[in-house]
Amino acid sequence: MEGAWPSLEQWLRVLSLRDYNTRVVLLGTVLLGIAGGLVGVFLLLRRRSLSADVVSHATFPGIALAFLLLESWAPGSGKSTPGLLAGAFATGVLGLLCTTLIQRHTRINEDAALALVLSVFFGLGVSLFTVIQSIPSGNVAGLSHFIYGKAASMVAADVTLIGWASAGVTLVFLLLFKELTLLSFDEEFAAAQGWPVFGLDLLLLGMVTSVTVIGLQSVGMLLVVALMVIPATAARCWTHSLHWMTALSAGIGAISAAIGVLISALFPRLAAGAVIVLAGTALFVLSALFGSRTGMVTRGVARWLRDIKIGNEHLVRALFEVIESRLAPGHDLADQLPAEAVTVDELQQQRTWSSARIRRLVHQAQRHGLVLDYGVAGVKLTERGAALACQVVRNHRLWELYLVEYADRSPARVDRDADSIEHSLEPEVVARLERLLAEKHSGLLVPPSPHALSGSSTKTSEASP
């Protein structure tokens, strides 16, 4: 069952594009991939990805009708590709219009409208196909390429057609980039600005139909939707910027097309259309995992790093507060901080942390050079740790004071709020807080806490206002 593994010579032959045929197919498909990637961006942003599916199915009756019309007009001319593609374009647009009409004017929702139009048009296509089969000149062999696609049989004329169509789509895309962006993000605003929203929508759908029609031959009507949906969805994982997303989407479309064509040139039993789609899927999976915007791994790593930072800051603040509670008010804390050792018991009194958690935090902070662990004797802050502790406590208390003074929060309730924000206070915000609170607590490195510290001695309670 296994097709023979290609020899080294075959590999070289395909990868160095020595065959004219491979070059032609590759060029055509890559152009198609780029056009699909571009159009897909706006389909995705308009939340109409599945419209492309409707278009591709709706082209089917168009092909069959065009064939029948051509045959009845001049027998034997039915296989003319431009004629068939024109028919495909006409019914593709018609299908889209039907979904829009159903959605706008009946109580049937978008989903059902899409599914209904898609299958009814396809059904009409199937019926016409069986009709074609029963007429003498109606050999459907050439027509069924449109369903599954047959990239390998692409000839120079097809590539020329695809090239012109892709160039046209790209040109329209670049010329109307601003308008289409506006349409995608704020349709009402676009309409209020006087843009012909319906016309632009129609134009976008016309572009979708064009890509679908030229994609029929290479990937087939059942999979051509993937050329538009997958690259754009993958590109979305990487960036917020529309320009970058567009470029990435076109690039992903081109790369998956190239991979698909090359693999199916090496393994003739693998249909190019399906391999192109699966190459796109692989790129999508990579993007979904490692994409810089929404990649799962990227986000996981970012969260992990943030958790470490927060853990460290919580620990040094706890140490600070324990040490602070030992010393008399007004004592110069900055010098004392690295000298004092704090035991696990004291930390546990200060915080409701489990001893396992404390051990983990201490271990982690030691690796980052913030504390030194002396075992039973306790934990000491390093110079860096002390500096960080001062900064974090400072941020924490500034925020607490701000809440008490300006937001009328009761002192007993500000600790939690400050807890979550102390890690992300920007220096500019801290500076503004300092200016706001300057007249009250000037000159202090760390302002006093506005509330009693849990588990601390009475000394600090006296110190608090």
Partner 1 sequence: MIGELLAILETWSTLDTRIVLTSAVASMSCSVPGFFLLVRRQSMLGDTLSHTALPGIAIGFLAALWLREQGWLSATAYEQSRHLFIVAAAVVTGVFTSVLTEAVQKFGRVEANAALGVVFTSMFALGLLLVRRFADDVDLDPDCVLYGTIETTVIDVIGETGIPRALFINGAALGINLLLTALFFKELRVSAFDPAFADTLGIRSSTVHYALTAVTAATLVAAFESVGSILVIAMLVGPPASARLLTDGMLKTLALSLLLAAFGAAAGHLLAIAVPPILFSRFGFPTVRDASTAGMTAVACGLIFGVAALCGPRYGLLTRSWRRVRLAWQVAGEDILGQLYRAEETGAPAELVMPDNRMAWRLLRWQGDIERSDGHWRLTAAGRQRAEKLVRAHRLWESYMAKHFEIPPDHLHETAGRVEHFIDQGMRVELASELAAPSQDPHGKQIPGEDHPQ
Q: Which residues bind partner 1 (CB under 8 A)?
A: 1, 44, 47-50, 52-53, 57, 68, 71-72, 102, 105-109, 111-112, 114-131, 134-136, 144, 147-148, 222-223, 225-226, 229-230, 232-233, 236-237, 269-271, 273-275, 277-278, 281, 284, 288, 294, 296
Q: Which is nearer to partner 1, 108 or 412 (CB)?
A: 108
Return the number of the residue (106 or 461) whose C-beta is nearest partner 1: 106
DSSP state of 375: G
C-alpha span between 149 and 264 (Å, rounded): 13
Taken as a whole, the chain contains a residue count of 465
Q: For partner 1, which is the closer residue by CB, 108 or 167?
A: 108
Please, what is the minimum distance in Å from the beta carbon of residue 139 to partner 1?
Answer: 14
CB of 175 to partner 1, least distance (A): 25
CA distances from 329 to 303, 396, 440, 451, 463 (A): 38, 19, 17, 15, 7
180/361 with CB nearer partner 1: 180
Question: In whole angstroms, how close is the CB of 37 to partner 1 at the nearest point?
Answer: 14
Tokens of 37: 């990637």
| Other beta carbons within 10 Å of 431 | 10
φ/ψ (deg, to 5) at 430: -60, -45
- Give me the amino acid identity at 51: S
Q: How far is the CB of 355 from partner 1 (least distance, A)?
A: 35
Give one word for 149, left, alpha or beta, with left for phi > 0 and alpha for psi -120 to 50: left
CB closer to partner 1, 123 vs 465: 123
Q: With respect to partner 1, which residue has the nearer C-beta, 49 or 343?
A: 49
Helix axes 20-45, 272-290, angle to 10 degrees: 50
User: Is 225 within 8 Å of 279 (Cβ atoms)?
Assistant: no
Distance of CA 257 to the CA centre of its chain: 20
Distance of closest approach, residue 290 Cβ to partner 1, in angstroms: 12
| Residue 281 CB, nearest approach to partner 1 (Å) | 4
Query: From CA 230, how far away is CA 213, in angstroms rounded?
Result: 18
Closest contact distance (angstroms) between CB of 294 and partner 1 is 4
- Tokens 């220096």 locate to 427
Q: Please, what is the minimum distance in Å from the beta carbon of residue 121 to partner 1?
A: 8
Q: Is 56 left (phi over 0), alpha (psi -120 to 50) or beta?
A: alpha
H helix intervals, 154-241: 156-175, 177-185, 187-192, 197-219, 224-236
What is the SS3 assignment for 372? strand
| Phi and psi torsions of 291, nearest 5° | -55, 145
**Tokens (6 digits) for 444:** 């202090």
d(CA 117, CA 93): 12
Q: What contacts 106, CB < 8 A, 6 or more positions away?
A: 113
Q: Which is nearer to partner 1, 89 or 129 (CB)?
A: 129
Asked if residue 142 lies in contact with residue 83, where contact means CB atoms within 8 angstroms, the answer is: no
Min dist CB 190 to partner 1, Å, is 20
State the number of CA atoms in the 13 A half-sphere of 288 facing the CB: 10
Q: How far is the CB of 289 from partner 1 (least distance, A)?
A: 9
Give 136 or 330: the residue with its C-beta nearer to partner 1. Answer: 136
List of residues 6+ apart from 127 with CB closer than 8 A: none
Give me the least distance between CB of 311 and partner 1, in Å please: 25
Residue closer to partner 1, measured from CB, 283 or 361? 283
Nearer to partner 1, 266 or 379 (CB): 266
Nearer to partner 1, 44 or 437 (CB): 44
Residues 6+ apart with CB under 8 A from 196: none
